Amino acid sequence: MRKLYSFGKWNLFSIVAFLVMMAGFQMGALAQSAEDCISGAVPVRTYLFFVTEDDGATYNAVAEKNIKDGQVVPRPEFVGVEYSTFKSWYTVTDPAAFSVENKFDETNFSTPQTVTVTDTVRLYASLKADVFHVIFMEGVGSDARVFRVWERVAGTPNLNPDDEQVIVDATTKSVGWYYDQALTQRATTFTMPAHDTTLYPDIKTGKWVYYVSNGGTYVEPDFYQIEETTQTPDNPTRVGYTFVGWDNGADAWYRTDGSVDQFGNTLTESITLDAVWTPNEVAYTVVYWVENADDEDYSVNNIRTATALADDHITTLESDYTSYDNILDGLDQHVTSFSYDRNTQVSSTDVTVAGDGSTVINVFYKRKTYTLTFNPNKVYNTLIFTSTAFNNWYPTQANEVITAKYGANIWNRFPINRHYGYDGLLIHWTYETSMWRATNSSVYNYALQLISTMPGSDVTFYLYANFTGGGR
């Protein structure tokens, strides 16, 4: 039978349980102490280190260091960025703003820091791109001089050395570049290495074919060595035109339809070829402007599309735009109330049609001005056409006149409430009227109480006397 060892009132199991409990208290106290340090009981400063690979557009954190008061900042294990050299750390993100004032330098790393509160400091790496050189020589001899030098960042892709050409004279030039003076290692398109590179030219004698595009896209001249046959270049393009071929002076050299082709032969001399084009039918825009009725500005009335050959020269004479046939939208029946504006600062008078369809011809029309005359001294009625029998009842009154552009608002100038009198053989009366009757019935064949807009003709009106009423 197993015995329990007793120490006074304590047995062995009680003692073990007590020791375990005390150990737990001690572990809890240690954990609490650590938590107090982090939460601010013991201030901690965190340094975050960032690196950019796209000139400051985005940053990636590469290291984190924590210190307490009086400690120095540990240096981060910074690996670096390919093709770049690390310079220093700064407290701002924009590389353009890096300066002495915001630099975190050697002194900061070696000086104990004062940490009174828990905070975070962000530091950003300054990197300098590793730049190297491509050195183009003029020849392969020991006395050859430097022809051109490229300065490029290591890692720059798609560098084509054939973009450089050494032209000795009209018949001699470089036809390729090599890494060695013996011209055995040809240099083609490459990525800039992290070191300087020297290239040597292969100089050859030959003939040139020069191309004059005559308004088309540029075609680089071709150099052909002796006994080397010419090749058909890519066709140039020109907006609004169709490429036909090349001419050598007055002689056809090449036609796209295959009727002539002198490419594929060797050259006995350098030549210059001129591009041949045929113009296409292209669109241009005609904008018709009409003078506003109530101010001096113009408003667009109609827009039409027409066609012409590219680069056609159009002189917009008045006769081209005064037929009015279906030109002025909604105003065809009143076209005689407009006149072509001859002001060359307004209407387009001399235009070359662009091949890309961007040409706009502006045509402006002015509104004609008309006059309405209201004669209160004459009366038109159903019995007597006119009457001047005012006698001594009413003195002669001056005519009222409205002058305005066709279509202008005149309703607030229209005369109303006029008196007239008549002394006939048998009757004598006075009358008040708001109506007028035009002397020309082809314009208005009825009496008017109001005209809101100016008509397209000059009109004289008499007072209207109608014992039965009426009018508009």
Q: Per residue in 388-407, pLDDT tens? A: 444 344 556 778 899 999 99
- ∠ CA 83-88-92, nearest 5°, is 105
| Cβ–Cβ under 8 Å, residues 104 and 65 | no
Q: What is the pLDDT of residues 45-82, one digit of tens each?
A: 999 999 987 776 788 889 999 999 999 999 887 666 77
166 pLDDT above the threshold of 50: yes
Question: For 258, what's the count of Cα atoms within 13 Å in the CB-facing half-sphere?
Answer: 0
For residue 240, what pLDDT band results from cuts at 50, 70 and 90?
A: very high
pLDDT of residue 3: 32
Q: Say what the pLDDT of residue 350 is.
A: 83
Q: With H, G, I as helix, E, B as strand and everything else as coil, classify residue 201.
A: strand
pLDDT at residue 9 tops 90:
no
* Cα 238 to Cα 221: distance, rounded to the nearest angstrom: 18
Please, are residues 427 and 412 in contact by the beta-carbon 8 Å criterion?
no
Helix H or strand E segment including 107: helix 106-110
CA dihedral over 165, 166, 170, 172, signed as positive or negative: negative
pLDDT at 17: 46
Residue 378 half-sphere exposure toward CB, CA atoms < 13 A: 14
Residue % of the chain over a pLDDT of 70: 77
pLDDT band of 315, cuts 50, 70, 90: confident
CATH number of this structure's domain 281-367: 3.10.20
Lowest mean pLDDT among 20-34, 87-101, 234-248, 408-422: 20-34
Quick check: 385 pLDDT over 50?
Answer: no
Residue 267 neighbours by CB distance under 10 Å: 19
Give dist(CA 153, CA 400) in Å, integer. Answer: 87
Note the pLDDT of residue 419.
58
Contact 179, 193 (CB under 8 A): no
- pLDDT (average), residues 101-124: 93
**327 or 410: which leads in pLDDT:** 410
Cα radius of gyration rounded to whole Å, the chain: 49
* Residue positions counted in the chain: 472
What is the average pLDDT value for the chain, to the nearest integer?
82
Is beta strand 131-137 parallel, antiparallel or unpaired with respect to 146-153? antiparallel
Three-class DSSP category at 352: strand
The amino acid sitting at 313 is H
Q: Where are the domains of the chain?
A: 6-39, 45-129, 217-270, 281-367, 369-465
Residue 59 CB contacts under 8 Å (≥ 6 apart), including other chains: 50, 51, 52, 93, 124
What is the residue type of 121? V
Q: End-to-end alpha-carbon separation of the chain, Å?
A: 135
Distance CA 63, CA 277 (A): 65
CB atoms inside a 10 Å sphere around CB 273: 22
DSSP 409: B
H or E stretch at 14: helix 12-39
Is the Cβ–Cβ distance between 319 and 275 less than 8 Å? no
217-231, 415-429, 457-471: which range is least confident on average? 415-429
pLDDT at 221 over 90: yes
Which residues, 6+ apart, have CB-to-CB distance to 191 below 8 Å?
A: 155, 156, 157, 158, 159
Beta bridge partners of 221: none
Neighbours of 282 (CB within 10 A): 21
SS3 443: coil
Give the pLDDT score at 6. 34
Give the C-alpha separation, 33 to 45, whole Å: 17
* Tokens standing for residue 307: 């066609």
pTM greater than 0.75 (yes/no) = no
pLDDT in tens, 78-97: 666 778 888 899 999 888 88
Q: Is 375 in contact with 461 (CB distance < 8 Å)?
A: yes
396 and 319 in contact (C-beta within 8 Å)?
Answer: no
Superfamily of domain 45-129: Listeria-Bacteroides repeat domain (2.60.40.4270)
Report the run of H or E that residue 460 belongs to, with start and end.
strand 459-465
